[in-house]
Chain A
Amino acid sequence: MGKYFDFERFIDTIPKIIPQLSVTFSIVLVSMIVGTVLAIAVAVLRIQRIPVLHQILGIYISFMRGTPLLVQMMVVYYGLPLLVQGLFGININTWSTIIFVDIAFILNEGAFLGEIFRSAILSIPPIQSEAGYSIGMTRLQTFTRIVLPQTIRIIIPSYGVDLIGVFQNTSLVFTIGGVLDIMGKAKTLGTATGHALEAYLVVALIFIILSLILRFLFFLINQKLQYERR
């Protein structure tokens, strides 16, 4: 067995894990982009308080925020094929596992970011919309040109925190069969060699570096977007 921790082995493990970052990044990228679009839609629809839909979205959000992501992933992975089979008679069991992971992450982000967007939109003074309407803009123009840009400036810090959270959440995806992100790779290496600690430390190091980079990045974006202080 040798030493419990070996620095050389640690170094050797790094290049074996790094390539799997692409899997991690792809999950984060897809879930953030589609999740943000979903979140804006959820936020806007919630604010409109359309009967029935409002309650359905309320249940969706409380489910997403009230259950662990791991559970949500399992529900999507095992439940969605049954649902689709039952409703449309289509077999989606053949889909790649990563698609189910993406769907679970997107739904999760739609709820979390949706609430962030909702409170940010509500914090924009109504006079901003009224001014848009008064110059003859449509509701859509007023939302996309006046309200949304101001909303984005408000949510940048929370968005950054959320993004870092999503990165860390990807460490759960290996529990669903066949997804080899950095965490999944570390586990496989650990099983194959009998030395798990080095691989997990590499993963930890990657997450630390990523979160530091992202924090710095969002700090810069936030600075740049403060129109009051330019």
Chain B
Amino acid sequence: MIEITHLKKSFGKQEVLKDVSFKIQKGQVVTILGPSGSGKTTFLRCINFLERAEEGELRIGDTRINLRKASRKEILNVRRRTAFVFQNYGLFYHKTALQNVMEGLVVVQKIPKDEARKRAEAALEWVGLSNRKDFYPSQLSGGQQQRVGIARAVALNPEVILFDEPTSALDPEWVGETLDVIKKVAKKGITMIIVTHEMSFAEEVSDKVVFMDGGSVVEEGTPKEIFTNPKEERTKKFLARIIPQDMYYI
């Protein structure tokens, strides 16, 4: 289980997260929705210490960590138990798809190279990219790069995977295949927190949906509650703006 309590973060005078609390059970998939600038991405980045929060506590399993004062050791511990999928893939440019997946296994988890290679190959096969394993990121399409990113995250066997708008940078033609892979990850029973703008995907894959606006959690509930019967005015407005467009695309 992962719990974040009273998370606060500002950039200069701009308050990006105003006292956000959040809970996710083991094996759950939670999606975070909200307009741009609502702090979704910052929230995710604070969990992985890619941004340092001003206040807040993180509980992961039995470990409690102060998000502001965490030591290097604690940060490393959290990062080794989580994985992050970036909006812009974040693949290592100078490494092939296979090496990208192997890197964390060999360097961080100290798994022998042969074993790591096998695992990495299996992970790439699982996302449907065995035939691209020796390609460099620059030789792959956006969708393929993101699938490598997902394979890299899954191969690490983390307690939770954080997805930061995994399809927002993709051309429309690659969105489908990437979402399919994320659904596969969900079926594996891995705990996931997903920031996304893909409404129908969120509805299908989530156990819980969190709607954020202006740096706070406005409303949370099951996908059914949020999408068919939102209580808050801001949630209604946001969905009204987003969903017709979404359907128009399909």
Contacts and interface: CB of A to CB of B under 8 A. Distances in A.
Q: Please say whether chains A and B are actual partners in one complex.
A: yes
Interface of A: 127-128, 130-138, 141, 145-146, 149-150, 153, 227-228, 230
Interface in B76-91: 76, 79-80, 82-84, 86, 88, 90-91
B152 interface: yes
A46 to B, nearest CB: 22
B159 interface: no
B86 A145 contact: no
Contact of B79 (A134, A149, A228): A134
Which size class do B's interface residues fall under? Answer: 20 to 34
A153 B88 CA distance: 22
A133 B79 contact: yes
B156 interface: yes
Interface of B: 48-50, 76, 79-80, 82-84, 86, 88, 90-94, 103-104, 107-109, 136, 138-139, 152, 156
B86 A130 contact: yes
Given A130-B90, A135-B79, A227 B136 contact: yes
A110 B70 CA distance: 35
B88 A127 contact: yes
Nearest to B108: A136
B50 A134 contact: yes
A130 B48 CA distance: 10
A135 B83 contact: yes
A147 to B, nearest CB: 10
B79 A136 contact: yes
A155 to B, nearest CB: 14
Given A135-B156, A228-B136, A230-B136, A128 B92 contact: yes
B103 to A, nearest CB: 7
Given A136-B80, A145-B103, A227-B136, A127 B94 contact: no
Nearest to B103: A135
Nearest to B100: A131
Contacts of B138: 227-228
A128 B76 contact: no
Question: What's the dominant secondary structure at chain A's contact region?
Answer: helix
A135 B152 CA distance: 8
9 contacts: A131-B91, A133-B48, A134-B48, A135-B79, A135-B156, A136-B108, A146-B94, A227-B93, A228-B138
A150 B76 contact: no
B205 to A, nearest CB: 22
Contacts of B79: 133-136
Contacts of A150: 93-94
B58 to A, nearest CB: 15
Contacts of A149: 94
B115 to A, nearest CB: 17
Contact of B90 (A134, A137, A138): A134
Which of A130, A131, A135, A136 has the most B CB atoms < 10 Å from its CB? Answer: A135
Nearest to B155: A135
Contacts of B107: 137, 141, 145
A134 B136 contact: no
9 interchain residue pairs of minimum CB distance: A135-B104, A131-B90, A134-B84, A136-B80, A136-B108, A228-B138, A136-B79, A127-B90, A227-B136
Contacts of B156: 135-136
A150 B80 CA distance: 24
A92 B146 CA distance: 60
Which of A130, A134, A137 gathers the greatest number of chain B CB atoms within 10 Å?
A134
A137 B86 contact: no
